[in-house]
Structure 1
């Protein structure tokens, strides 16, 4: 897709390549209706009131597999089968949404597929993939990490002459994911054009597709890409001018934790500025997950909450008066993760902290310490780390409170009492060892 010169954007002025892409997406959307109806585009009153804006949510968490990944998989299968691949075995490597979309589409077309997953994949994801694919899929658990699993899938394709279905880096996948944009154009109120379209980014298939389809409708500056801080593959690539492979990736936001954005996707996104990519702390995303669950009854996975978390980062002043579309990309949340998500959210909000204290080993020392706590302070964890000290012992303590400013008072009281302590809440290495 070509970029419109700065300051010269006019809606409806698509290039020939953009028109061809839009036509392909429209055809994909029409075919997709045999599988499921459009996902809703909902005006969210809670978020709209908070930011003084019109905030629409494109609810991809309400697709048949609770993510947009089914779209690209369907379009890939549709075209591959039309080209004569119906008798071949389709293969994918995934432990998440791509596997579930792949399985659903295998059953729809009545073709056999093999899903490679790491041995470490949670049983819940294995069971859901098997449920969607039924007798049309075989699941193989190989390797401890995704790279080993992916290599096994590639080897299987080469050995059997199968068809590899990539998760994001393919023109047919991009075209399928772009049907999200085609639907929202039809769903927006008449005469309404988004000032800002907010999209999560992992491998880049969704953002490459949506920006392509909306190229003649939304100013290039009106796109915002969201990545977790621990996996900034698009931002680093835009800053460098070429695709960058990250040395390390934080897998907490598993649906967007990609170490290398797709090559084809980057070519379609390189026209954007690195400043249009917003990095969000993993713990801030947890705040959004818990808030949307408690207030709106929405179940969002970490990647699905990225675009809403971005609104909080932008704030009222930058959003007031605007029309915003935020894509909630997925809702495959394992509730066994909820305690960790709540913990991370409280730490981000400043409502929970962990300290290592040096406490005298004498009768009444613990009672004296408890007297320092305020009425809104609660001990969530208490553990002796060093029990053999003669005069002093080290203690790990977790404290929850109702207002973050309570910790300012608490630290002042600790200092006045001559209590030696270390706040390890944000010390990632130390907290991971002892918490």
Structure 2
């Protein structure tokens, strides 16, 4: 199998459009982690993503007469831009079917390169089905974003470049994983020449399709796929990519949203470039690997796969980066309601900075505060704060890993509704586009009174809402059935401690 891919990679036609991307030494990160960290800068491609390579190689393998019929793909962004640029260079028509949730920056980029962008459906699957309908109706040639041998070979040229750009031994290469085209291509080339080099995949823990496939020893379909790292939001690893990955990928590491945000900041600190969440996955996984195995003095390569992100998302990234770096923790703390109580609380923290403090008067005896506290960069420091505060008689709840607290409650602290009887609380995600919030409210219906509502647009493909509904006990089973029919991802947060402490 590897010999077959080696020939395809060595003869791949990618440099008609793509560049040989540079590698950068990550000085700050290397010093901090006590390893030699090298960044492979695929974010510097003409479309700011590695996807250009695979699209270019695939199109170049298609006879000219077939190309003239027109190219088509379903894509939420990076593959779309790559294919659009290739088609523009070759002067052939190109159509991209994109979900309605695709960020504007990606839609505009596709149209700027001369392709027709059709927005259809709220998910990739719906967009894909429509693209297949157009293939049958109009005779277009479909270019798959990852599950194609020529596409895999195109991405494999990254492995070829890493080998001749780096000096000395390479211990491990960390690769973002979505559908698997990138890691399959790199693994095929590297393992053929240097089987001792570890190939380590990195996935978001919200879309870990390769991790689950490796665990089950077969391709699986995820029940749900997270939305933050949209460039790798794939429910099932590709069929062709799985054939390579199952035998030649050494392991898969999963990382959280907070860890991805911290990695985006790390890349920025060393390059002054802003990666998209999927683009920084490799750095997040590399850091986790170093900490887990206490790795020192090794040469580690991280593939920075892309930089296509909406500017508005940077608010969310900045808020979560310090938590992901273990430099901030969030706590709910009960303190006495009397003069000097906050001062004493601060004294207990010593020299640690308070990064956030939310409070509103509730009663004469005690106050609930929502506090962000600076850490020294490790979990032990977080545990030490809890121990110090509880040892002095404070009631403490650690909310650092609580999504509802981080997404919503921190912006809502300051009021309770004692009259909101029979309140149940749900957290939702729904496709984000103009008018989406109103459509969501209309679908939520008028049967139950909305007693609390928080919505914040993070510039992402999906909106996030926290809602309280007043539902009589005898109707709560009916509510559950109604929620299942809505068609949105949701979580029942009625028993969440952050809600009970600050909002109930």
Question: Same fold per TM (> 0.5)?
Answer: yes
Q: Give the alignment of 1:340-355 within 5 angstroms.
A: 340-355=316-331
The equivalent residue for 1:151 is 129
CA distance in 2, matches of 1:140, 1:294: 37
Residue 227 of structure 1 deviates from its aligned partner by: 1.5
Match of 2:305 among 329, 332, 335: 329
Aligned counterpart for 2:286 among listed residues 298, 308, 311: 311
Structure 2 partner of 1:257: 233
Q: Give me the whole-angstrom Cα distance separating, in 2, the residues matched to 1:321 and 1:350.
A: 23
The structural deviation recorded for 1:419 is 4.6
Mapping for residues 97-136 of structure 1, pairs under 5 Å: 97-131=78-112, 133=113, 136=114
Residue 8 of structure 1: aligned partner: none
The separation in 1 between residues aligned to 2:52 and 2:200, in whole angstroms, is 23
2: CA distance, partners of 1:100 / 1:291: 26
Number of the residue aligned with 2:341 = 368
Asked if residue 204 in structure 1 is aligned to residue 180 in structure 2, the reply is yes
Residues 87 and 407 (structure 1), Cα distance of their counterparts in 2 relative to 1, 3 Å cut: closer
Q: CA deviation at 1:242?
A: 1.0
CA distance in 2, matches of 1:313, 1:296: 20
Q: Is the contact made by 2:18 and 2:52 (CA closer than 8 Å) also made in structure 1?
A: no
TM-score by length of 2: 0.72
The answer for the alignment partner of 1:290 in structure 2 is 265
Q: Is the 8 A contact 2:190 2:197 kept in 1?
A: no
Matches of 2:26 and 2:329 in 1, distance apart?
Answer: 33
Q: Distance in 1 between matches of 2:387 and 2:185?
A: 53
Contact preservation (8 Å) 2:219, 2:237: yes
SS at match of 2:224: coil
Cα distance, 1:213–1:390 mapped onto 2, change above 3 Å? closer
How far apart are residue 87 of structure 1 and its match?
2.1
- Asked which structure has the greater RCO (Cα within 8 Å, sep 6+), the reply is 1
Counterparts of 1:5-404 in structure 2, within 5 Å, are 18-28=2-12, 31-80=13-62, 82=63, 84-131=65-112, 133=113, 136-189=114-167, 192-219=168-195, 222-272=198-248, 276-315=251-290, 319-357=295-333, 364=338, 368-374=341-347, 376-378=352-354, 380-382=356-358, 384=360, 395=368, 397-401=370-374, 403=376
1:292 is paired with a residue whose SS is helix
Tell me, yes or no, if the aligned pair for 1:118 and 1:149 is still in contact at 8 Å: yes
CA 1:299/1:427 → structure 2, altered by over 3 Å: closer, same or farther?
closer
Pick closer, same or farther for the CA change 1:401–1:187 going to 2, 3 Å.
closer
Contact 2:55 2:151 in 1 (8 A): yes
Is the alpha carbon distance of 1:84 and 1:220 closer, same or farther for their aligned partners in structure 2, counting shifts above 3 Å? farther
TM, length-normalised to structure 1: 0.83
Over residues 306-327 of structure 1, what are the superposed CA-to-partner deviations in whole Å (9 max), with x where a residue is unaligned? 2222222222775434333321
C-alpha separation in 2, matches of 1:160 and 1:396: 62
Shift of 1:331: 1.9
Alpha carbons 1:93, 1:149 under 8 Å: kept: yes
The offset of 1:40, in angstroms, is 0.9
Q: Would you say the 8 A contact 2:93–2:115 is kept in 1?
A: yes
Alpha-carbon distance in 1 for matches of 2:6, 2:77:
28
- 1:50 is displaced (CA, Å) by 4.2
Q: C-alpha separation between the residues in 1 aligned to 2:28 and 2:90?
A: 40
Aligned counterparts of 2:231 and 2:139: Cα–Cα separation in 1: 29
Say how many residue pairs are matched. Answer: 404
What is the aligned-residue RMSD (CA, Å)?
2.9
1:251-305 deviation line (CA, Å, top 9, x unaligned): 21222222110011101222146x6112222211221211221343232222222
Q: C-alpha deviations, 1:2-29, integer Å up to 9, x for none?
A: xxxxxxxxxxxxxxxx34432222221x
For residues 393 and 173 of structure 1, do their structure 2 counterparts lie closer, same or farther at Cα, with a shift above 3 Å needed?
farther
Aligned CA distance change for structure 1 residues 397 and 49 (closer, same or farther; 3 Å): closer
Is 84-93 or 321-330 further displaced after alignment? 321-330
Equivalent position of 1:11 in the other structure: none
Instruction: For 2:355 and 2:296, locate their aligned partners in 1 and report how far apart those are by CA, in whole Å.
Output: 40
Q: CA deviation at 1:117?
A: 1.6
